[in-house]
């Protein structure tokens, strides 16, 4: 199944100069970039990304921290397309808590913080990257971050060999 998913390289990933390395991992896996931009988001926009559902699941204070975090600097927003793109991107990204992320994943290789450290210091978990968690989230997030005319169709060499 060909899918599209949203990936955000969060401010800590951009500030650390990791965008190129992260993008390369997705392209090496055969995923295609169909949209990409650098954007600084304000808190109103961040609240649309981190919906009330997050507050219900994890607490209002977590949502507030995530809003502060994502609006603290530039974000690279990417729409990736490929076979089972949502699941494959999640595997490449690694566990949301960097401490639990396996070596070889983006979070496992580039971050090491934990929920307990973040909670004790009243900071968000700086985990470098966001990836849509499922089909419904991907559709919502892509439409939030990208206009239809910012998403492009083309064929890559991977498609000639995989599809």
CA distance 11 to 101: 19
- Residue carrying the six token digits 């392209």: 27
Total residue count of the chain as it appears in this document: 163
Catalytic residue among 49, 112, 130, 152: 130
Determine whether 130 is an active site residue: yes
Q: Which of 158, 100, 105, 157 is nearest to 131 (CA)?
A: 105
Which letter does DSSP use for residue 103 in this model? T
Residues annotated as catalytic (active site), given as ranges: 130
């Amino acid at each position: 199944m060909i899918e599209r998913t949203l990936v955000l390289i969060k401010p800590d990933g951009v500030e650390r100069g990791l965008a190129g390395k992260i993008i390369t991992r997705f392209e090496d896996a055969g995923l295609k970039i169909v949209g990409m931009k650098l954007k600084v988001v304000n808190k109103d926009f961040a609240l649309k990304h981190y919906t009330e559902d997050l507050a219900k699941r994890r607490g209002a204070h977590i949502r507030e921290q995530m809003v502060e975090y994502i609006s603290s600097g530039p974000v690279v927003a990417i729409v990736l397309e490929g076979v089972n793109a949502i699941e494959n991107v999640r595997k490449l990204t690694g566990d949301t808590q960097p401490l639990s992320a396996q070596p070889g994943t983006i979070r496992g290789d580039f971050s090491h913080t934990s929920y307990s450290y973040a909670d004790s210091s009243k900071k968000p978990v700086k985990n470098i990257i966001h990836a849509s968690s499922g089909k419904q989230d991907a559709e919502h997030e892509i439409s939030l971050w990208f206009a239809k005319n910012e998403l492009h169709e083309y064929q890559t060499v991977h498609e000639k060999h995989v599809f």
